[in-house]
Amino acid sequence: MQTIANDPVMDVFAKLDLRTVALLLDVDGTIIDIGPSPTEVQVSEALLASLKNLFDLTDGAVALVSGRPVSDIDRLFAPLRLPAIGGHGAEMRLNDSQIFYWAKPLPQDLRQRLADAASFAPGIVVEDKNYSLALHYRNAPAQAERIRRHIASCRTAFPGEPTELLLGKALFEIKRPGINKGDSIRKLMAHPPFSGRVPVFIGDDITDESVFEVLPDIGGKGFSVSRRFPGLTGIFKNPAQVRTALRTLADNGQVRP
């Protein structure tokens, strides 16, 4: 049964045993608020402190799971360099000496043609991730259908390049098929310090569905932010509540005998 976002979800999360769990955290819309554009987001010192404490208390079993490239994740959360899954699963970094790549970049010509959508109207933001390209239309919602048609035309113009369209919150993203966060989390959980622990994932968007789908198979627990998915342990109401839950969990772990 799903727990509605209120005190109960905080209580359930606060009781997680940091000696036995692995924390897998989506970024945008989950632990940080979605900004006007991918570059206009804030990572507070308090969140950095919580993540550092949780990393130490779990013996390193904390990973950031994002559609952003790992290099962008590192930029946002500097000076932390946590284990990370980037590009919706296209790349995985266990530590500085173990980086895995599961997809090849999209051709530059295709990415440039897709990026031409920015000329349709002010407010369309292009996010080139190399493995994929995202078109954000939060500030130009009337352009959604035109952008969708443009993407279809671009994909038709490159028939030899396998791609798929990923839908998100006011964005369309074109990426390589067969790459998703769920499969990459399966791979991550096979490596120390994650192996042998209970995966606990928090996500917020359609792009996180693949993770929620694999959690039952790997004995995991799923929490979401404001959105219902099958089999959740709890639902947080917003990223601010998630940040509070992470801080509380870190504080509890530090005093546990």
* Residues carrying an active site annotation: 26
Q: Looking at 150, 175, 200, which one is the last position of a domain?
A: 175
pLDDT top residue among 178 and 185: 185
- Shared domain check, 160 and 190: no
- Shared domain check, 92 and 194: yes
72: number of Cβ within 10 Å: 19
229 assigned to some structural domain? yes
- Shared domain check, 186 and 91: yes
| HSE (side-chain half, CA atoms, 13 Å) at 80 | 24
Q: How far is CA 64 from the centre of its chain?
A: 7
Enclosing domain of residue 184: 7-102+179-255
pLDDT computed for residue 6 by the predictor: 45
The CATH number assigned to the domain holding 144 equals: 3.30.70
122 assigned to some structural domain? yes
Q: Mind listing the pLDDT tens digit for each residue in 42-87?
A: 999 999 999 999 999 999 999 999 999 999 999 999 999 999 999 9
Q: Looking at 153, 175, 197, which one is the last position of a domain?
A: 175
What does the block give as tokens for 44?
């507070």
Nearest CA to 78 out of 48, 38, 39, 47 is that of 48
Whole-angstrom Cα distance, residue 90 to residue 23? 20
Question: Tokens 């308090």 label which residue?
Answer: 46
- Shared domain check, 20 and 68: yes
> How many structural domains is the chain composed of?
2
2 assigned to some structural domain? no
190 assigned to some structural domain? yes
Q: Looking at 156, 175, 194, which one is the last position of a domain?
A: 175
- Shared domain check, 124 and 79: no
Residue 13 — pLDDT band, cuts 50, 70, 90? very high
Q: Mind listing the pLDDT tens digit for each residue in 179-238?
A: 899 999 999 999 999 999 999 999 998 889 999 999 999 999 999 998 888 889 999 999
Kindly report whether the global pTM for this prediction surpasses the value 0.95. Answer: no
Q: How far is CA 163 from the centre of its chain?
A: 20
Looking at the predicted structure, is the pLDDT value of residue 39 above 90? no
- Shared domain check, 84 and 46: yes
219 assigned to some structural domain? yes
pLDDT computed for residue 256 by the predictor: 53
